Amino acid sequence: MTDAKQKIEDTVKANDVVLYMKGTKSMPQCGFSSRVAGVLNYMGIDFKDVNVLEDETIRQGIKDFSDWPTIPQLYVKGEFVGGCDIITEMTLSGELDQLFEENGVTYDKDAADKIRQANA
């Protein structure tokens, strides 16, 4: 197992919610990362952010790890959930709320409802 793969595996297992992104949760450096981090921040999710711009081996490694070509990538309880489009759809449909509830991840239900109301 490569060092990058081991590091990624350790990170997604050690944290309930992990977002591999360009930039950080407080300073995203691309629109797609900003959208997903914004949703998670607004919903009050306690998540680990991993800035793939800081380490090229992680940037490529996360794509290989998930077999998914784009960043950002969201993991919940060690499982790959998806990228920006999937997270956006799941947020608007309520599926993301359900995923968090099923996995015991605390989030602000009112904030999730406000996102849906604003996009209705």
Does residue 119 have a pLDDT over 80?
Answer: yes
Task: Say yes or no to pLDDT of 81 above 70.
Answer: yes
As assigned by CATH, the class of the 3-118 domain is alpha beta
Q: pTM for this structure? A: 0.96
pLDDT exceeds 70 at position 1: no
Question: In this predicted model, what pLDDT tens digit does every residue of 90-107 receive, in sequence order?
Answer: 999 999 999 999 999 999
Would you say residue 29 has pLDDT above 70?
yes
Residue 105 to residues 13, 29, 54, 97, 117, Cα–Cα distance (Å): 14, 26, 27, 9, 22
According to the model, what pLDDT value does residue 69 have?
96
**Sheet holding 79-82: strands in order across?**
48-51, 17-21, 73-76, 79-82
